[in-house]
């Protein structure tokens, strides 16, 4: 493996570890228990599953991996806070969306070259990217890895001890 | 910047963003409020500050950055769960330890070459590293970044809305 391939393999592995832990935590809830709050008065696990599914779905265009699968999640799970809209997605569907999105991201990451990871991501302009070349696709992957870990820490609090 | 330098700069930046958010969250508590639990019956923020300080302090030998600053944190904050020992460190000291450790890690990371990041970390044997070269120092940095984000998500829940 070249050094560049090793940098990528290490980052992709870290994403996979975090996503595996997230999926394991989410799988430990019954559909009904997804309604639990992570702490009194805070987000429901249901909301965080939708939120993470939506944010990860947005990685497809950001990383140049094609079209999104579930753009309709943005309204209730990104643009609005928890309980600001009626729950239109059954919990079982939300969970399935998340797992499907993760499986497709894994495929997409596996097909990216080291050079691909250093290209600008789709939300930064060519001019801004010239000024700061760390605004690349690897940064998106690492940012989303940390974001997934952030909410996994919360979701785990709703699990019965 | 070479491609290898860019991979490193992107990863170090992600660590810095996560640590800045952690420090900002921890700074928002009074010394007394560090005693708050992140959720009823769960870890106190105080414990998580000690836990993160200890784990980050362990990064010095793992990354080849020299001696630890606060090895005595391991007993109460890594080997034992919250409330299993008497709180010997005042909250203000714990917080200061964490910030000092972070400042020193930042210096250390800045002095590492891309090749340094791909060397084996101190907790993996040469034989195991040959089998899996992603068990390198970059993996330690990325693992600790995700771990810090995981607990930051919990600490934020104890902040008054």
For B55-109, the pLDDT digits (tens) are 999 999 999 999 999 999 999 999 999 999 999 899 999 999 999 999 999 999 9
pLDDT at res. A160: 83
Structure tokens at A54: 């939506």
B115 in contact with chain A, both atoms CB, cutoff 8 A:
yes
Residue with structure tokens 């429901």?
Answer: A44
CA-closest candidate to residue B12, choices B106, B89, B77: B106
* Interchain contact B88–A (C-beta under 8 A): no
pLDDT tens digits for range B98-132: 999 999 999 999 999 999 999 999 999 999 999 99
Q: Given an 8 Å threshold on Cβ–Cβ distance, is A39 in contact with B157? A: yes
Query: Which residues of chain B make contact with A146, given a CB cutoff of 8 A?
Result: 14, 17-18, 145-146, 149
Q: CB A146 to CB B149 under 8 A? A: yes
pTM score over 0.80: yes
Q: Between B160 and A32, name the one with better pLDDT.
A: A32
In B104-124, which positions are buried (b, 16+ CB within 10 angstroms) versus exposed (e)?
A: bbeebbeebebebbbbbbeeb
Of B14, B42, B115, the CB nearest to A157: B42
DSSP B136: B
Res. B160 pLDDT band, cuts 50 70 90: confident
**Counting every residue, how long is chain A?**
161
- The residue of chain B with its CA nearest to that of A9 is B134
For residue B161, is pLDDT > 80? Answer: no
- Residue B4 CA to residue B14 CA, distance in Å, equals 16
A74, two tokens: 């943005």
Look up residue B77 and give its DSSP letter: I
Mean per-residue pLDDT over chain B, rounded: 97
**In a structure prediction context, what are the per-residue pLDDT tens digits for chain A, which is 161 residues long?**
899 999 999 999 999 999 999 999 999 999 999 999 999 999 999 999 999 999 999 999 999 999 999 999 999 999 999 999 999 899 999 999 999 999 999 999 999 999 999 999 999 999 999 999 999 999 999 999 999 999 999 999 999 87
Q: How far is CA A154 from CA A115, B53, B135, B149, in A?
A: 34, 20, 27, 10
């Amino acid at each position: 493996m070249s050094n560049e391939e090793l940098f990528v393999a290490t980052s992709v592995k870290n994403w996979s570890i975090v996503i595996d832990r997230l999926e394991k935590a989410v799988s430990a809830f019954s559909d009904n228990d997804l309604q639990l709050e992570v702490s009194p008065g805070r987000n429901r696990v249901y909301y965080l599953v939708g939120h993470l599914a939506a944010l990860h779905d947005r990685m497809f265009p950001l990383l140049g991996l094609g079209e999104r699968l579930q753009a309709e999640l943005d309204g209730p799970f990104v643009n609005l806070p928890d309980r600001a809209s009626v729950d239109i997605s059954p919990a079982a569907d939300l969970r399935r969306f998340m797992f499907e999105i993760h499986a497709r991201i894994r495929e997409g990451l596996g097909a990216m070259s080291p050079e691909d990871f250093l290209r600008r991501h789709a939300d930064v302009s060519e001019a801004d990217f010239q000024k700061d070349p760390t605004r690349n696709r690897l940064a998106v992957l690492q940012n989303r890895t940390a974001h997934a870990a952030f909410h996994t820490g919360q979701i785990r609090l709703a699990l019965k001890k």
